[in-house]
Chain A
Amino acid sequence: MEKFLIELFNLIPFLVILGLPFFKMRGRIILAFGILALQVILSVVVAFSVFSNGTVEYSYPGSWITGSIPVRIDALSAWFIPIIGFTFLTGAWYGIQYMKNYADQKDNLSFHLIAYILAYTSMIDICLVQNGMVFLIFWEIMALSSFILIIFEHYKAETLKAGINFLIQSHISILFLTVAFLLAKINTGTFDFAAISAYTYTQPAIVGIGLFIFFFCGFAIKAGFVPFHTWLPLAHPAAPAHISGVMSGVIIKIGIYGILRMLLLIKSDMVSIGYFVLAISVITGVYGVMLAILQHNLKRLLAYHSIENIGIIGIGIGLGTIGIGYENSLLIVAGFGGALLHTLNHSLFKSLLFYSAGNVYLATHSMKMEGLGGLIKQIPHSAYMFLIGSLAICGLPPFNGFVSEFFIYSGLIEGILSRHFLFIMFILFIILGLVIIGGLALICFTKAFGIVFLGSSREKHALSFKENKVVMAPLYIIAFLILIIGIFPVLLTPMLSKAIHLYQSDHGFMSGLQLNNLLSNLTTVGWYSLGFIVLVAVIYFIRRLVTANRQVSSENTWGCGYTGETSKMQYTASSFIRTYRKLAEPIFLIGKHKSDAHGLYPVMISQATHPHDKIEKWLIDKPIYFIRKVLKRFVFLQNGNIQAYILYGFIFIGLTILLPVIIDKIIALVNFLNQL
């Protein structure tokens, strides 16, 4: 049954590709959306049957290169499948509306449609297959199709640059993964994931850790862990809004899925792996949000926030891994539970934020915060959606972000009672990190929301965009889910506990009591969040009653004696974070260009700040600079002569064929000489 559904799932995308030429643009869109919806339904049916009936497992014979291709769908895959499907579906819905401005680029749009569906199909397949080779093939399809999605506006140089950056980095990620899978293949003789488990179990711990670090580097590039994050802030502003939402919501989560999958497979010194993941995650989280505050491009700010949230998810994963190592089931539940829940939550609120940022772009054709302002009066619904998204991403009750952060916090607080001194110190470090992340996120989103949507407009924009129900519908749905998860996290617990159970069962110390304690705690939190909403409503009602017949008048904002209307006196985004910038200056490279006022009657003064990423500079720009210096010596090889290139090709082929022979001969010669 599930096998049939999955096969159907993989076959129908080809229908789109075959069918597209026979339709007009409108028909193409409807066809593609219909197929996507069908695919999502199919995959979600499979996921839920896995949740209710347990793991589905079957295998294809495959070819002599890949070996047999096992397909295993366990609760972890089933947890990710609906998340991916939902975000892709809302992304498509929103994207159809968003792309109306580009309706004249028909070919480009059709290509975009195909890439979108291919990206979705390959991502779901990544969650299903457990064969290294096939996994890599799907990974490559995903990387290429998301590259095409990003460079939709390829006629802009900046977009193309960001796209190529993404392409290169995702291939570095593939390189890491290939090496890791080949290592496993050489040592076990098969690409099957199950072999990794058996292999690392029998080897000394260091082998498992080494293998994990290779996998981790590969997946971390996709997920955006610091220091592998540099493609994110470039790719997100370049892509169309719905693609940014999908990319930040789920494509980077595939990296998280990979890490979680490997943790399930690799049996090694879990404590060291856990500490490794934790350290990187805390740095990722704090670094991401610290840079996010300094950004004045709305989408770039959101991109840095994705890095921060990946850090939070990583903290959960690290805690859970340490829990496996110390055989502490509460840590496993809180860590992995928090990580999985935050994956879901982040995909929701981040796509909501990107879609409403997309509306801002539609309305003003600008993403520069310093020029925006007062948009709540023009696009009120998008503004409220953005507000809900920002409250949720700051982890404030009664929204869903709080639930997952609370999960992780309770893991930390319980963890502090443990007996390992090193672990206590680490927890101290994490709590510090997490609290700072929370506080900085608060600054960041008060800035983003306050500057963009509130106050009065800082520049004139030709407002061409009208909100309507069709555009806003996906946003409403997401916001509704955010609230529902925030209030009734209990709805998710059956599925969540199945996924967490995977990590516990192989140790056989599942303690139902502690799990129930934690989950009932979560339910309590949900109820109190509901209570909070009710309280707000009651007080607001009282306020309405009391102030109903009071005199209300409207005046200009108090301007210390100045009575005119001007938006020039408003606080700007950069002044809002000035105090913070001063504090953070030593850590970052903040380029500042300033012209001071001179003379009695100063004319024009200006100031501009450009935050740079120090890690990017030292880790990527500098090495590339040196590599280029070396490679410049060989530039004469690239002479533009096609005949010469063909010669290179022949030399290369000849070398690859002859090299083993030559080496063989040399060995024979050496042996011969030895015998003499």
Chain B
Amino acid sequence: MGIISRTKSIASGRKGPGIFQPMRDIFRLWKKGSVYSKSTSFIFQIAPTIYLSSVLMAILMVPFGDQPGIISFNGDFVMFAYLLAIGKFLMVVSSLDTGSSFEGMGASREALFSMLVEPAFFILMGSLALFTGHTSFHSIFSTMHYGTYVSYLLSALVTFLFVMIAMIENSRMPVDDPKTHLELTMVHEVMILDNSGFDLGLIMYTTNLKFAMYGALIAEFFIGSLPMVIAIPSFLLLQAGFAVSVGLLESFNARYRMSHNPEFIFILTSLSLLIFFGVILILGKFF
């Protein structure tokens, strides 16, 4: 997270904060008291907790190097997606709890965009499962192998798609601008306008974790079959690379108009379909 904002600053000609600044912000928030809106209920207070636990649980599923994740079973990516969904459900509902029109707007967009992006993720994982013949994160990534030129092309597409899904799920640039100062144009940030203190800290921490988790997933895509010794440094390198590229992407990319976002996300779905057909092509399952 810190790396992104540093990259962005450098790219836009500023010096920028240190890379540990987000963590310091979170600690500062954790020390503060909270202000709750009068219209809110218990849902509003528990939602950040559930949000954090859902992401933590999902992180446990991400494999590392050639080791499986702590939680790993056949079809675990279904549970991965659904766990993230429960956190999202609670966040959306809690932002409706405040009764503010800004937050309702953000909630509506968040729900819609995450709905639209899910098919892309599932088809992507489905085609990877088809490609490798396995159905859990770990076995898919560890048995990934590249043979023909087509498969290289595919892996490039897959990486691009993963990055894009990560950007949308984390409400980052082409879809949502976390740094904007106009509530009408925000998605994720506007949902948490009324959160404060410890809860806001939890949410920010979760957002960072989620970002790192997607980074790990992407890194895993490359290093899935490597042994631990090589995996750790390359993992760190890839994570940093992911952050830098996201930072660059954000610096040189304008946010899309809100009404164009669904179209953009549909493109991702069609891309994932392309990957799917590519996989079928490689495996020669046309008859």
**Interface residues, chain A, with chain B CB atoms under 8 Å away:** 373-374, 376-377, 380, 383, 387, 391, 394-397, 402, 405-406, 409-410, 412-414, 416-417, 419, 421, 424, 427-428, 431-432, 435-436, 438-440, 442-443, 445-446, 449-451, 454-456, 517, 521, 524-525, 528, 531-532, 535-536, 539-540, 543, 546-547, 550-560, 565, 567, 569-572, 575-580, 582-583
Task: Say how far B274's CB is from chain A's closest CB, in angstroms.
Answer: 12
Instruction: Give chain B interface residues in 71-129, CB to chain A under 8 Å.
Output: 71, 73-75, 78-79, 82-83, 85-86, 88-89, 92-93, 96-105, 107-109, 111-112, 114-116, 118-119, 122-123, 126, 129
- Residues on the B chain within 8 Å of A417, using CB: 129-130, 133
- Contact of A569 (CB < 8 Å), options: B83, B101, B198: B101
- List the 10 shortest-distance A-B pairs measured between CB atoms, nearest first: A571-B104, A439-B115, A450-B96, A551-B33, A455-B99, A550-B33, A454-B97, A557-B37, A396-B86, A535-B53
Which has the most chain A C-beta neighbours within 10 Å: B92, B116, B280? Answer: B92
- Residues on the B chain within 8 Å of A438, using CB: 82, 85, 118
- Residues on the A chain within 8 Å of B122, using CB: 431-432, 435
A-B contact pairs, 19 of them (CB 8 A): A394-B85, A416-B129, A417-B133, A419-B285, A421-B286, A421-B287, A424-B280, A428-B273, A438-B85, A439-B119, A446-B89, A454-B43, A540-B49, A556-B38, A558-B194, A571-B107, A571-B108, A575-B105, A579-B108
Given A546-B30, A556-B37, is A432 in contact with B123 using a C-beta cutoff of 8 Å?
A: yes
B contact patch SS: helix
Q: Are B104 and A576 in contact (CB under 8 A)?
A: yes
Q: Are A413 and B35 in contact (CB under 8 A)?
A: no
Which has the most chain A C-beta neighbours within 10 Å: B82, B92, B198? Answer: B82
CA distance A649 to B85 in the complex (A): 64
**Interface residues, chain B, with chain A CB atoms under 8 Å away:** 30, 32-43, 46, 49-50, 52-54, 56-57, 71, 73-75, 78-79, 82-83, 85-86, 88-89, 92-93, 96-105, 107-109, 111-112, 114-116, 118-119, 122-123, 126, 129-130, 133, 135, 183, 193-194, 197-199, 202, 258-259, 262, 273, 276, 280, 285-287
Question: Whose C-beta in chain B lies nearest to the C-beta of A413?
Answer: B135
- Contact of B197 (CB < 8 Å), options: A402, A550, A557, A576: A550
- Residues on the B chain within 8 Å of A536, using CB: 49-50, 53
Q: Are A406 and B75 in contact (CB under 8 A)?
A: yes
Other A-B pairs, 13, CB within 8 Å; known A450-B96, A576-B104: A405-B82, A413-B126, A417-B133, A428-B273, A428-B276, A450-B97, A454-B93, A525-B79, A532-B57, A550-B197, A555-B37, A558-B194, A571-B96
Q: Are B100 and A570 in contact (CB under 8 A)?
A: yes
- Residues on the B chain within 8 Å of A546, using CB: 30, 198
Q: Are A455 and B71 in contact (CB under 8 A)?
A: no
- Residues on the A chain within 8 Å of B37, using CB: 554-558
Q: Are B119 and A432 in contact (CB under 8 A)?
A: yes
CA distance A475 to B30 in the complex (A): 38
- Residues on the B chain within 8 Å of A428, using CB: 123, 126, 273, 276
CA distance A413 to B39 in the complex (A): 44
CA distance A402 to B79 in the complex (A): 8
Task: Say how far B93's CB is from chain A's closest CB, in angstroms.
Answer: 5
Task: Say how far A167's CB is from chain B's closest CB, in angstroms.
Answer: 37
Q: Are B96 and A413 in contact (CB under 8 A)?
A: no
CA distance A454 to B96 in the complex (A): 7
Question: Whose C-beta in chain B lies nearest to the C-beta of A524?
Answer: B73
Task: Say how far A439's CB is from chain B's closest CB, in angstroms.
Answer: 3
Given A528-B79, A543-B202, A580-B112, is A558 in contact with B100 using a C-beta cutoff of 8 Å?
A: yes
CA distance A412 to B109 in the complex (A): 30
CA distance A319 to B116 in the complex (A): 25
Task: Say how far B195's CB is from chain A's closest CB, in angstroms.
Answer: 10
- Residues on the A chain within 8 Å of B194, using CB: 557-558
Given A387-B43, A446-B89, is A456 in contact with B119 using a C-beta cutoff of 8 Å?
A: no
Task: Say how far A542's CB is from chain B's closest CB, in angstroms.
Answer: 9
- Residues on the B chain within 8 Å of A414, using CB: 135
CA distance A560 to B89 in the complex (A): 25
- Residues on the A chain within 8 Å of B115, using CB: 436, 439-440, 442-443
Task: Say how far A284's CB is from chain B's closest CB, in angstroms.
Answer: 18
A contact patch SS: helix
CA distance A571 to B98 in the complex (A): 10
- Residues on the B chain within 8 Å of A521, using CB: 73-75
- Residues on the A chain within 8 Å of B107, using CB: 446, 450, 571, 576
CA distance A344 to B85 in the complex (A): 23
Q: Are B86 and A397 in contact (CB under 8 A)?
A: yes
- Residues on the B chain within 8 Å of A446, using CB: 89, 92-93, 96, 107, 111
How many residue pairs bridge A and B at CB < 8 Å? 243
CA distance A560 to B103 in the complex (A): 11
Q: Are A575 and B119 in contact (CB under 8 A)?
A: no
- Contact of A547 (CB < 8 Å), options: B126, B183, B198, B285: B198
CA distance A350 to B114 in the complex (A): 25
- Contact of B98 (CB < 8 Å), options: A409, A451, A535, A557: A557
Given A528-B79, A532-B83, A536-B49, is A554 in contact with B38 using a C-beta cutoff of 8 Å?
A: yes
Q: Are A569 and B79 in contact (CB under 8 A)?
A: no
Given A402-B82, A532-B83, A571-B105, is A547 in contact with B197 using a C-beta cutoff of 8 Å?
A: yes
- Residues on the B chain within 8 Å of A376, using CB: 41-43
Q: Are A583 and B262 in contact (CB under 8 A)?
A: yes
Task: Say how far A287's CB is from chain B's closest CB, in angstroms.
Answer: 16
Question: Whose C-beta in chain A lies nearest to the C-beta of B119?
Answer: A435
Which has the most chain A C-beta neighbours within 10 Å: B30, B33, B122, B135? Answer: B122
CA distance A554 to B53 in the complex (A): 26
- Contact of B99 (CB < 8 Å), options: A395, A445, A456, A517: A456
- Residues on the B chain within 8 Å of A567, using CB: 99
Q: Are A377 and B53 in contact (CB under 8 A)?
A: no
CA distance A489 to B54 in the complex (A): 21
CA distance A551 to B50 in the complex (A): 22
CA distance A374 to B38 in the complex (A): 11
- Residues on the B chain within 8 Å of A572, using CB: 104
Question: Whose C-beta in chain A lies nearest to the C-beta of B120?
Answer: A435
CA distance A410 to B135 in the complex (A): 9
CA distance A424 to B285 in the complex (A): 9
- Contact of B111 (CB < 8 Å), options: A442, A555, A565: A442
CA distance A524 to B50 in the complex (A): 21
Q: Are A424 and B96 in contact (CB under 8 A)?
A: no
- Residues on the A chain within 8 Å of B88, using CB: 442
Question: Whose C-beta in chain A lies nearest to the C-beta of B102?
Answer: A560
CA distance A569 to B56 in the complex (A): 35
- Contact of A571 (CB < 8 Å), options: B79, B101, B197: B101
Given A439-B118, A550-B198, is A540 in contact with B46 using a C-beta cutoff of 8 Å?
A: yes
CA distance A579 to B98 in the complex (A): 21
- Residues on the A chain within 8 Å of B75, using CB: 406, 409-410, 413, 521
- Residues on the A chain within 8 Å of B118, using CB: 435-436, 438-439
CA distance A409 to B133 in the complex (A): 16
- Residues on the B chain within 8 Å of A569, using CB: 99-101
Task: Say how far B121's CB is from chain A's closest CB, in angstroms.
Answer: 8
Q: Are B39 and A374 in contact (CB under 8 A)?
A: yes
Q: Are B93 and A450 in contact (CB under 8 A)?
A: yes
CA distance A376 to B58 in the complex (A): 30
Given A413-B75, A413-B129, A558-B100, is A528 in contact with B123 using a C-beta cutoff of 8 Å?
A: no
CA distance A576 to B191 in the complex (A): 13
CA distance A215 to B18 in the complex (A): 69
Q: Are A565 and B89 in contact (CB under 8 A)?
A: no
- Residues on the A chain within 8 Å of B183, using CB: 560
CA distance A479 to B14 in the complex (A): 55
CA distance A416 to B123 in the complex (A): 11
CA distance A578 to B109 in the complex (A): 10
Question: Whose C-beta in chain A lies nearest to the C-beta of B83?
Answer: A397
Question: Whose C-beta in chain B lies nearest to the C-beta of A441?
Answer: B115
Question: Whose C-beta in chain B lies nearest to the C-beta of A546?
Answer: B198
CA distance A406 to B53 in the complex (A): 20
- Residues on the A chain within 8 Å of B202, using CB: 543
- Residues on the A chain within 8 Å of B49, using CB: 536, 539-540, 543
